[in-house]
Structure 1
Amino acid sequence: MERPEANIKPDKAFKKRLKSWWNGDESPRPDVAFAKKMTKIGGSVENDGPPTVNGWSLSRQQSVVTLFGEGMTRCIPDDVKSRMTQPLGINKTLSVSELGSGLGGFARWVASEYNAYVTGYDEDPTLQDAAIEMTTMAGLNRKVNFFHGDFENFAPKERSANIVYAAEALFCVKNKRDCFTTIRRMLKPPGQFMMSDYMLDGVAADDPVLADWQKAEPLTPHLLDVQETRKLLTDIGFEVSIAENVTDTYKANVLRAFSDYAKRTGNGEKSGHLHGWILKEGELWTRRIQMMDEGHLKVFRIYARSRVEIF
């Protein structure tokens, strides 16, 4: 059953929650181990300057983990991870790659859940370094590796993966044809590609209703219509079998993450110096959810297989 709060206008819901969170000055409890890891990597998490969602300072890393869970820079609850990965048939004999691996939480979850070897690629060197450190501390560095990946000029080893998945990792890529072509080449045929991302559906990419949101995003979005995305993948050599609109579920999961945090703070958890950082993160997600609520932005999950080449 859908949560009642999922039907509340997100601007009002978030405003009410955000206002109620800031009740203390003590350090936060949600992930003490994470705080220690981040301090070891780069020093004090309380000296990162003013709160911002531009870049990945230590405080921002800690704030998103506080909201979304261990190693997560975006909202992908464990039940969503399961729904995304179970159809892929992941096991220890298959090589798996994640695009947009962030702090490595999803990659480590896949390695632990399926006893699989996972390679993560991220465009941000700060996140890559932190993911490597956290994975080593978790004792999973033999199962999970991380590399820098510029998705505008992506150059992984060809035929290096049986499965590639990406969650909200490619919506800022401008040259999607080249990126998708590279993904197809990195797959061992018949490989599997699963992506979940922000897309358009009946709204033009240059529609003025998108302008303010695009300017406010940390990285400039370059969005495609879902049918355009499907055709592009097909032209490149994928067989697309699923293009599912998961916007409502996505919105509910984000609202749940912020609601759960509000509940924890209501039970005495203190936000400390993360006060402003989580507020900034809330503003970012409020804008995204409001665009979805107004029908301008949607989230689609696409599943595709690379066709077997016959010579």
Structure 2
Amino acid sequence: MTAPVPTLKERFLAWWEGIDVPRREAGNDAAAGSGRDGPAGSAGAGQAGGRHMNRRGKPLWTATRIEVVEKIWGPGFSSPGGDEFIPTIVKPLGLNPAMSVLDIGAGLGGASRAMAKQYGTWITGLEPNPVLAEAGMFRSQKAGLARQAPIMPIDLENFAWNKRVDAIFSKEAFYTVRNKDKLIDSIEAALKPRGQLLFTDYVVDREQIRGRDFDGWMSAEPVEPTPWTIEQYAAALAQRNLDIRITEDNSDTQRTLILTAIQELVRHLETVSMDRDTKLAVVEEVEMWARRVAALSSGLRYYRFYAMKPAELS
């Protein structure tokens, strides 16, 4: 009988600790393969926790996980694309000191602070997870940007903003929002005439067959994904009279950023020692990003969208 294939987590931990890869019984394959955030935890667990908990009912973010992601992506960042990459993403916005911007899904606030420092723009970072929002605000205060780039908690399922802004930016935050129509309604309402919307997100490629890696990503993401197709986004923006200027597949760039960061992390791990809790946090983070890379070749894509709101009619 063929032995079950070890999970990425098992192989990574075994390599790290210099031991043989542990064997698993076939009957435990699904449970072991799911990790802490796997399909054994229902979507309801994450939803009941107000998006603060994962699908296994455990906190999405802890101090240990924040330490790990900053080691992978750079200080102030919890996902690919650090200080040097943000100007490439936001270039269409033409940011300047006279502009006001919302950063939806700001995470630890790295992108918000990068835009504030480089362009002098006034930015409010909005983050749905309160642990990340608090940590992000602490980093803005430490950088002397508490007023120019504050990070605040927000409920994206019930997003509303009562002060209109020049631009709204978001980096892969929408794919976990269930009521995207309501969110886009609120975004349109928050934009000034001639306001700009630029966001990146994971989307479903309608033309590509969704394989096992896509299904594995859907079932094991820490928060249940509800990704739209490219066509759904295009239609939603057009329905709100937002003029779409860019619809760009950036999947290859995202894949390269992830794989490069993981390779650099592996080299770093060979030079340091960590406690087991930190090791587990590293393994889970790597496992999550490895699933995302696999899904990008199995029906999932990573797109950048840019749209403008028309001028008010006189």
Please give the TM-score of this superposition, normalised by the length of structure 1: 0.80
The one of 102, 106, 123 equivalent to 2:107 is 102
Instruction: Indicate the residue corresponding to 1:306 in structure 2.
Output: 309
Q: Is the 8 A contact 1:53 1:218 kept in 2?
A: no
SS at match of 2:169: strand
Mapped pair 1:288 → 2:292: yes
1:142 aligns with 2:147: yes
Aligned partner of 2:191 in structure 1 is 187
SS at match of 1:144: coil
With 117-126 and 143-152 compared, the bigger mean Cα shift is at: 143-152
Alignment match, 1:224: 228
Pick aligned residue for 2:178 from 174, 178, 181: 174
Instruction: Tell me the CA shift for residue 104 of structure 1.
Output: 1.1
Please list every run of 5 or more consecutive structure 1 residues that lacks an aligned counterpart in the other structure.
1-10, 24-51
Shift of 1:203: 5.8
Task: Please point out which of 151, 159, 183 is paired with 1:154.
Answer: 159
1:51-110 CA-to-partner distances (Å, cap 9, x unmatched) read x98511110111111111111111113343111122211111000110001111111111
Question: Which residue is 2:3 aligned to?
Answer: none
Select 1:260's aligned residue among 237, 241, 264: 264
Q: Which of 83, 89, 112 is equivalent to 1:84?
A: 89
Query: What residue identity is the alignment partner of 2:304?
Result: R
Aligned CA distance change for structure 1 residues 270 and 241 (closer, same or farther; 3 Å): same
Aligned to 1:269: 272
C-alpha contact (below 8 Å) 2:137/2:150 kept by paired residues: yes
SS in 2 for 1:147: strand
Partners of 2:9 and 2:241 in 1: CA distance: 42
- Which amino acid in the other structure matches residue 138 of structure 2? E
Q: Amino acid of the residue matched to residue 267 of structure 2?
A: K
- Structure 1 position 308, deviation (Å): 1.7
Match of 1:196 in 2: 200
Q: Distance in 2 between matches of 1:215 and 1:69?
A: 28
CA contact (8 A) 1:21 1:262 kept: no
1:246 matched to 2:246: no
Please give the alpha-carbon distance, in whole angstroms, between the structure 1 residues aligned to 2:7 and 2:252: 18
- TM-fit CA distance, 1:22: 5.0
Residue pair 1:102, 1:122 contacting (<8 A) in 2 also: yes
Tell me how large the CA RMSD over aligned residues is.
2.7
Q: Which residue of 2 aligns with 1:39?
A: none
- Deviation for aligned residue 1:122: 0.9
Q: Distance in 1 between matches of 2:193 and 2:12?
A: 48
Per the alignment, do residues 234 and 261 of structure 1 end up closer, same or farther by CA in structure 2, a change over 3 Å counting? same
Counterpart CA distance in 2 for 1:62 and 1:53 is 18
- Cα distance in structure 2, aligned partners of 1:123 and 1:86: 25
Deviation track 1:180-222 (CA, whole Å, cap 9, x = no partner) reads: 1111111111011111000011169999874442221111111
- Counterpart of 1:146, as a letter, is I
Say how many residue pairs are matched.
Answer: 271
SS at structure 2 position matched to 1:71:
coil
Distance 1:53 1:258 in 2: 24
On the 8 A contact 1:98/1:118 being kept in 2, the answer is yes
5+ residue gaps, structure 2: 1-5, 19-56
Matched letter for residue 276 of structure 1: L
**Contact 1:123-1:150 at 8 Å conserved across structures:** yes
Which residue of the partner structure matches residue 300 of structure 2? Answer: 297
Kindly provide the amino acid, as one letter, of the partner of residue 172 in structure 2. Answer: E
Aligned-partner residue type, residue 153 of structure 1? N
Contact 1:107 1:120 in 2 (8 A): yes
Equivalent residue letter for 1:164: I
Q: Please show how residues 122-141 of structure 1 align to structure 2 within 5 Å.
A: 122-141=127-146
**Alpha-carbon offset, residue 20 of structure 1:** 4.5
Report the Cα offset of residue 265 of structure 1.
Answer: 2.7
Aligned to 1:29: none
Confirm or deny that 1:61 pairs with 2:55: no
Percent same amino acid at aligned positions? 27
2:108 corresponds to which letter in structure 1? L
TM-score (norm 2): 0.79
Q: Which SS does the other structure have where 1:223 is aligned?
A: coil
Q: For the residues of structure 2 that align with 1:14 and 1:110, how far apart are their CA atoms?
A: 36
2-structure distance, mates of 1:15, 1:68: 23
C-alpha deviation, 1:237, in angstroms: 1.7
